[in-house]
């Protein structure tokens, strides 16, 4: 990896680190090291990084702000690319906005709501990046990214980049084509919002944010919702009915505030979280005959 690291530094792609703990870059504060960690300074830096990665045929992975992500204790081999500062631009063209994949979805929703633009009220309390939100079709309060996305600029596994339309993204509940059929990462997103009454939009944003603050444990390190809702049931309600709120394995604990959140109660390891996930799945299956499917993405060697 020394040669790759030197090449990346010589190319001035952005920040380049060796054996960087990914616990520093996830909202749950767990995860082992990345062999090579790169935070490109712009899209050109990202392209140069991908050229070097392809030249050396090493595995690679892109992350955003680290929410909805569980990195295993062994970490990640190869190159981890973080879309952050430098790929967090925001450009307006009439009612259309092109946003960098590293842009905070909460910040974006706050800024545009104050302009009297409607469509992102649901995102007022969702942690994470725009790229991650599009990738998993993040949503809340009856809406999601599929309702506002025009097209997405996607980096594919072979290093090529392409714009995909909303239809080509094949959105469904917390899912897009990028997770399975065409693995890729959202580098930029173009969204279209509608004009509305500014005070009403801001009030809706505030209500959504307060609801999350009152019902979800954001005072602890966590990854967001752990399980997809097994409709017509709700994951959190099933976990609460099973009496699992507060159940703890190692440093990982089912939130006493919301059953579908696992929090890092202190020095948790990814192994603790995985063991707790498996335990919850087994109990819910035994009690309710419901198969639980994780929403959090689990990655690592």
Catalytic residue among 20, 121, 204, 295: 295
Burial call 192-214: b when 16+ CB within 10 Å, e when fewer: bbeeeeeeebbebbeebbeebee
Element (H, E) at 125: none
Catalytic residue among 77, 174, 198, 271: 174
- Residue 225 among the catalytic residues: yes
Q: What's 235-299's CATH class? A: alpha beta
- Strand 262-264 and strand 252-254: the pairing is antiparallel
Question: pLDDT confidence of 283, banded at 50, 70, 90?
Answer: very high
- Residue 295 among the catalytic residues: yes
CATH architecture label of 2-82: 2-Layer Sandwich (3.30)
Say whether pTM exceeds 0.95.
no
The fold for domain 90-215 equals 3.30.465
CA max distance for the chain: 58
Q: What phi, psi does 206 have (nearest 5°)?
A: -65, -40
Please report the pLDDT score of residue 244 as a whole number: 98
Catalytic residue among 67, 109, 124, 225: 225
Residues 271 and 255: their CA atoms lie apart, in Å, by 17
Q: What is the residue extent of each domain of the chain?
A: 2-82, 90-215, 235-299
- The tens digit of pLDDT for each residue in 132-189 reads 999 999 988 889 999 999 999 998 878 889 999 999 999 998 899 998 889 888 999 9
Span of 71-75, 119-123, 264-268, 291-295 with lowest mean pLDDT:
119-123
- Residue 174 among the catalytic residues: yes
User: Order of strands, edge to edge, in the sheet holding 252-254?
Assistant: 248-249, 252-254, 262-264
- The tens digit of pLDDT for each residue in 231-281 reads 999 999 999 999 999 999 999 999 999 999 999 999 999 999 999 999 999
């Amino acid at each position: 990896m020394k040669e790759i690291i030197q090449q990346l530094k010589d190319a001035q792609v952005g920040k380049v680190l060796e054996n960087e703990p990914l616990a520093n870059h996830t909202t749950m504060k767990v995860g082992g090291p990345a062999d090579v960690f790169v935070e490109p300074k712009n899209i050109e830096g990202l392209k140069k990084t991908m050229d070097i990665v392809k030249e050396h045929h090493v595995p690679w992975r892109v992350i955003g702000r680290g929410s909805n992500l569980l990195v295993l204790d062994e970490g990640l081999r190869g190159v981890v690319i973080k879309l952050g500062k430098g790929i967090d631009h925001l450009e307006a063209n009439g009612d259309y906005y092109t946003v960098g994949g590293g842009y905070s979805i909460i910040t974006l929703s706050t800024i545009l709501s104050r302009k009297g633009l409607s469509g992102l009220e649901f995102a007022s309390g969702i942690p994470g990046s725009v790229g991650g939100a599009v990738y998993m079709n993040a949503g809340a309060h009856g809406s999601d990214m599929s309702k506002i996305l025009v097209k997405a600029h996607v980096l594919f596994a072979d290093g090529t980049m392409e714009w995909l339309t909303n239809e080509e993204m094949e959105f469904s509940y917390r899912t897009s084509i990028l997770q399975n059929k065409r693995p890729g990462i959202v580098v930029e997103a173009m969204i279209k919002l509608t004009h509305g009454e500014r005070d009403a939009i801001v009030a809706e944003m505030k209500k959504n944010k307060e609801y999350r603050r009152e019902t979800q444990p954001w005072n602890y390190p966590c990854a967001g919702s752990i399980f997809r809702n097994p409709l017509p049931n709700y994951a959190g309600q099933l976990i609460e009915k099973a009496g699992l709120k507060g159940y703890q394995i190692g440093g990982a604990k089912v939130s006493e505030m919301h059953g579908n959140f696992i929090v890092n109660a202190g020095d948790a390891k990814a192994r603790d979280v995985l063991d707790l996930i498996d335990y919850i799945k087994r109990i819910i299956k035994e009690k309710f005959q419901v198969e639980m499917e994780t929403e959090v993405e689990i990655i690592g060697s």
